[in-house]
Structure 1
Amino acid sequence: MSETQATQSSAQTETEIGPRIGDQVFEAMQASILNGEYRGGQRLRIRQLAAALGTSVMPVRESLARLEEVGLVETSPHRGAVVKTFTAEELLQIYSVRRILEVEATVQGAQRLDEVGRARLDEEFSAMESSLAHGDPAAYLDHDEELLATIYSAAGNPVLVETIRTLWLRCRAYKLVGARREMEAGDLNPLLKHQRHLMDAVDTGDAESAARVTGDSFDDAVSRIRSVLED
């Protein structure tokens, strides 16, 4: 192989591998934020992250930009990149939008969910119970979201589901703290009751009842946020 061919081959390899490395770095950083390893307000230093992840600074820079796009990171001239911290007011705004979208997704999805989807609900619910039994709030939230996404996806509107998932990302840190508090209190029923009632409504084909359950879950969440705001 000539020198020119070797150079071209190397460039092609970097082009092929580069996007995969970038995605891996993004996914690793996103996971660290979502599972609470990177806390709200924590400064994200590019070179330290690159060293910890075993990569160059470029994929980290690109990942920070992507994380800012989905609302998990914010940047400022003086502090650089930090993990986004939401105020109670911002959370209320996010939950207000989520309520509108998720009630609609519940109504549409509950009426169209097939047997395969229904079986998936049982699998995710069992995984939620197992995650709680093992004291893993992050895994609990993962399975909770997949249970809901299974219902929402049955509506046949991928844009709706994608938008909801983006909003989940933006309030994940709050949801994680909430799940941890409930687990520490020793009463796991609040972490399972809405999903159980939602599955019952799906079984009866009662879209109105399913929508009411979804609405009630948001009312409870908003009540908790307001109590934080008052404090």
Structure 2
Amino acid sequence: MSGLKAIDPIDRQETLGGMAHRSLRSALMAGNFRPGEKITIRAVAAVLNVSMTPAREALFNLVAEGILELDQNRTVRIPALTPERVAEITAIRLSLEKLATEAATAIIDDETVDRIEAFHNELVDHFAAKDYTAMIEANWKVHFTLYEAAGMPTLLKMIESLWLTVGSYLVTIYPDFATPADGLPHHEKLIGALRTRNASVAAQAIATDIQFSAEALTRAVAHHEERRLHGTFPISRKL
């Protein structure tokens, strides 16, 4: 029994805070919030069926990560992007995601490539059905299945944080600011390069895909900033 004395007891609230944190990250990644939207501790606690403590922990951890912002009134909000911010994020994404792609291509196995191709096929099906929310989720799976294969967890977390920063705009890109069909060849080129373990071609395919989405994102950001200034931006509260 003496050895057990050195083990800290399980903190259930901390566990719930972690679960709430993951749920919020998933909702942000899926684009369930809108730029500038206010998120209250009480609302998070109610939707996730947890107490105020884990809800507060989850929100303020996301603030600390730079995913959410705390305004001068201590209100937690979804940050609104600017074209300049998109350009900065894009430059960082290009560097990090090309690195992850090159590392993954060197060690990826055929089973993982098959999974990436299956997710791409799901994306194509969702595009045909005009289910853009599901399409974005499938796109996320394509990219992060690849990046996870690199075996670099710190790099993966950095990339995920960048995607979370732009998540609130993703569902607004299609179909007004980009045609999904124009982006499909980038994934097809990527999958072909992964099959032959050609790291440079795979990295270039990822770079082209990032630049394609960044151009659409810049157009969406400019449009929604104009709508926000005129008070016509819709608010979503789905978690």
Taking structure 2 as the reference length, what is the TM-score of the superposition?
0.76
Task: Report the equivalent of 2:233.
Answer: none
Quick check: which has more Rg, 1 or 2?
1
Question: Could you tell me the percent identity over the aligned residues?
Answer: 24
The code of the aligned residue for 1:97 comes to I
Structure 2 residues not aligned, in runs of 5+? 1-8, 224-239
Q: 2:91 aligns with which of 90, 96, 104?
A: 96
Match runs of 1:126-205 below 5 Å = 126-181=121-176, 187-205=179-197
CA distance in 2, matches of 1:35, 1:219: 20
**CA distances 1:78-104 after superposition (whole Å, capped 9, x unpaired):** 251111222111111011001011112
Q: Which of 68, 74, 83 is the equivalent residue of 1:73?
A: 68
> Which runs of 4 or more aligned residues in structure 1 lie more than 4 Å from their structure 2 counterparts after TM superposition?
225-231
Q: Aligned partners of 2:19 and 2:175: how far apart in 1?
A: 27
Give the Cα–Cα distance (whole angstroms) in 2 for the partners of residues 170 and 61 of structure 1.
20
Q: Residue 25 of structure 1 corresponds to which residue in structure 2?
A: 20
For residues 48 and 155 of structure 1, what CA distance do their matches in structure 2 show? Answer: 37
Counterpart among 58, 75, 78 of residue 53 in structure 2: 58
Answer whether contact 1:202 1:210 (CA < 8 A) is retained: yes
Distance 1:206 1:170, change over 3 A: same
Q: Which residue of 2 aligns with 1:9?
A: none
The Cα RMSD (Å) is 2.7
- Alpha-carbon distance in structure 2 between the residues aligned to 1:21 and 1:209: 43
List runs of 5+ in structure 1 lacking aligned partners: 1-11
Partner of 1:77: helix, strand, or coil? coil
Cα distance per residue 1:128-171 (max 9 Å; x no partner): 22333444333322322222223333333222222212211112
Q: TM-score, normalised by structure 1?
A: 0.79
Q: Which has the higher contact order (CA 8 A, sep 6+)?
A: 2
